[in-house]
Amino acid sequence: MSSLGAAFRLVRAGWVLVREGVVAAVPGDQLSGLPKFGWRVAVMFTRRRALSQQRTDRLARAVARLGPSYVKLGQFLATRPDVVGNDIALDLALLQDKMQTFPKEEAIAAVEASLGRPVGDLYLNFGDAVAAASIAQVHPAEVDQAGERRHVAVKVIRPGVRRRFQHDLDSYFLAARLQEKYIPSSRRLRPVEVTQTLAQTTRIEMDLRLEGAALSELGENIKEDPGFRVPAVDWERTGRDVLTMEWVDGIKMNDVAALDAAGHDLKAIAANLIQSFLRHTLRDGFFHADMHPGNLFVEANGTIVAVDLGIAGRLGKKERRFLAEILYGFITRDYLRVAEVHFEAGYVPHKHDVAAFAQAIRAIGEPIHGQPAETISMAKLLTLLFEVTELFDMETRPELILLQKTMVVVEGVARTLDPAFNMWKTSEPVVGDWIRSNLGPRGMIADAREGFHALSSLARHLPEMATRTERLSREIDLMAENGLRFDEATAQAIGKAEARHSRSGRLALWVIALALVYIAWRLF
């Protein structure tokens, strides 16, 4: 029944996308065969009102009809332009995660169930919701801390949201499996793996303790940094379904007129934003991955405060070196080094020629050097770079795609504050310092220290590794003599699983086909 329910939900979602003109907005002249026929049918069933709307408006209306799960799906796919294309990703990034508030009484019940205490014991007062998104909503409240009243923000999970997400995820997985099975060209994008990433991301985002931990970690990383901070977490009043944190008094960064009227130096704020983001990314390998202007406040003293850390990005040391050397290579026009970094990191298969790849990199870099510095977009550069790497079989790197998406947003915010913003001049102090610290003499000493620790750890585990190697050798010898065998229960389980998978796939296709026939019959 779960497959049947997923199929019906998938048909409903497809029908809404058709009726609201989302499918019709796809460039049909670039399609052929059965997809083009399907596109023409979709245009026939599109509402006339939708045909006169912009694609972004069509997406927003469709997502609003489909509910919170699809808002989150749209936001997730906005981070994957490799899957949906750059244009669609930009449209999805504009989706507003604003939903109707749920009753205050339900929020209080969720707080009490999560923390195991009456709301009156936890807060001096608990106000009505001031903002609501697909997963949670925020209430103002006051607490008593060491005899002092403090204003706090209380984020509460939307009731029933986990169950709704799980049901919709079943239909996402069904669509991904059908796509992989019947559209071979899409397998390179690994749709099932993408859906698994979405499932994991939403599970993390729906546990507010993890968001609190992310705020705490980022806060520790940047405690000595000037002009940028995150709100402090009240751990006594935080649980799986509730997050209590410091209330932020400031002006939202999307209100440029208010910032200007308050006397803030917009150019300084733009520079601080970019340098802070690059510092978090390169130095710490941990960054806020949802830095749209609605999540950024500016306090009276000019300090930027970032909230809503449900989505965070991480980069390992290899990825940080990759990013820094690429940026520095483009600045110095050392395209061969940029190409070599891709090969050293293992991102481009060694079957390709480094010189040929460097030539492709030059095709991106040279036009940039002919432009005024303030018109050069670092985010656009990374977008072009990832497009070129596809020609050289570079596999999708989710952590780099998330970085690219965040950089697009952050750079866009900076240019809103300062239209003549010079990305390269602003970022050079942070990027240059990281390169000097990690790729110069100091970096070599640090690498040697890490290598010594790794060798010490290896030496401690050598006896255990020798025992495992000996046991593995004996088992391989037995397999060579007797062959690989399954016991009867394992063989039967494999057969049943394969038969069940085949039946569910056929059933889903029949349900979708019958539903579409029924819809067409009712319309005509």
Whole-angstrom distance, CA of residue 426 vs CA of residue 423: 5
Residue-by-residue DSSP string for 270-289: HHHHHHHHHHIIIIISEEES
Characterize the bridge pairing of strands 125-126 and 131-132.
unpaired
Phi, psi of 307 (to 5 degrees): -120, 175
From CA 122, how far away is CA 235, in angstroms rounded? 12
**What distance in Å separates the CA atoms of residue 266 and residue 484, rounded to the nearest whole number?**
68
The DSSP call for residue 440 is S
Question: Is-contact 74 66, C-beta < 8 A?
Answer: no
Q: CA–CA separation, 4 vs 11, rounded Å?
A: 11
| CA atoms of 126 and 140, how far apart (whole Å) | 6
Catalytic pick among 91, 234, 290, 308: 290
Confirm whether 290 is a catalytic residue. yes
Number of helices followed by number of strands (H, E) in the chain: 22, 11
Q: Is 151 helix (H, G, I), strand (E, B) or coil?
A: strand
Token readout for 494 is: 């494999």
Cα 355 to Cα 118, 272, 352, 382, 417: the distances in Å are: 67, 37, 9, 20, 40
How many of the other CB atoms lie within 10 Å of CB of 448? 10
Name residue 244's beta-bridge partners: 154
In the chain, the amino acid numbered 70 is: Y
Three-state secondary-structure class, residue 404: helix
How crowded is the C-beta side of 184, counted as CA atoms within 13 Å?
0
Full 3-state SS string of 292-323: CHHHEEECCCCCEEECCCCCEEECCHHHHHHH
Active site residues: 290
